[in-house]
Amino acid sequence: MENMPISERLRTVAQSFEGQDDTVPFGQLLDVHGNQALGAILVVLSIPALLPSTGIPIGTVMSLGMFAIALAMFFGRQEVRLPQKLMNMPLAPTTAQKFLNGLAKLYGRIETISKPRMNFMVSATAHRWLSLKVFLLAVIIFMPIPFGNTLPAAALLTLGIGLMFRDGVIVITSFVVTAIALVTTAAIIGGGLWAIGQVI
């Protein structure tokens, strides 16, 4: 299965959940990515954080894993130990199946346009300074900013895809999304402080 394209691999695993009664641990969605670990973890953690949520602060939960990735990248590790509570988080088989099929569709599209290029943007040295961006965006996602998760999560999703496919052009694109995310976040916080000041 390791030799399959990542999109095909995910579809195969998703199909294996058909008719399954037992829940699927969140960590299994990461394990199926194999040796594309760091980028894949960023992708898998970023997608739930894209959507504003009520009740369970899903962005806050996912940001804990993002902090772990930032530390691993900074210290040059290719593997990252995520919080066990996150890895063991149970998912309904139908949810896991939809999630993997959605990822497979996304990866399938990326596979048609992406290729390894601009290797200096995905090298071990690059990982160290890219980790600072991951950390900063994880801080924003962790904060309870209304609708503040979406753009930072999109920037990390783009970065994760770039790392997965070793595509420096996609990594550079993630910087554009990051800049937009930072400006938008500053505007939201600034507007909030201004509103509070008006009330006080």
Please indicate, yes or no, if residue 168 is contained in any of the structural domains: yes
Structure tokens at 95: 């949810």
* H/E run at residue 91: strand 90-91
Helix axes 124-142, 168-199, angle to 10 degrees: 30
Which amino acid is it at 11?
R
Number of CB atoms found within 10 A of residue 28's CB? 14
Separation between Cα atoms, residue 79 and residue 72, nearest integer Å: 7
Tell whether 1 is covered by a domain.
Answer: no
- On whether residue 45 sits in a domain, the answer given is yes
Residue 27 lies in a domain: yes
Domain presence at residue 127: yes
**Residue 140 maps to a domain:** yes
Domain assignment present for residue 14? The answer is yes
- Residue 43 resides in a domain: yes
Range of the domain at 117: 6-199
Specify the number of domains making up the chain: 1
User: pTM score > 0.85 for this model?
Assistant: no
pLDDT tens, position by position, for the chain (200 residues)? Answer: 556 777 888 888 888 888 777 888 888 887 777 655 688 888 888 888 887 654 456 777 788 888 888 988 888 887 777 778 778 888 888 888 888 888 888 888 888 888 889 988 888 888 899 999 999 999 988 887 777 788 999 999 999 999 988 999 999 999 999 999 999 888 888 877 777 777 77
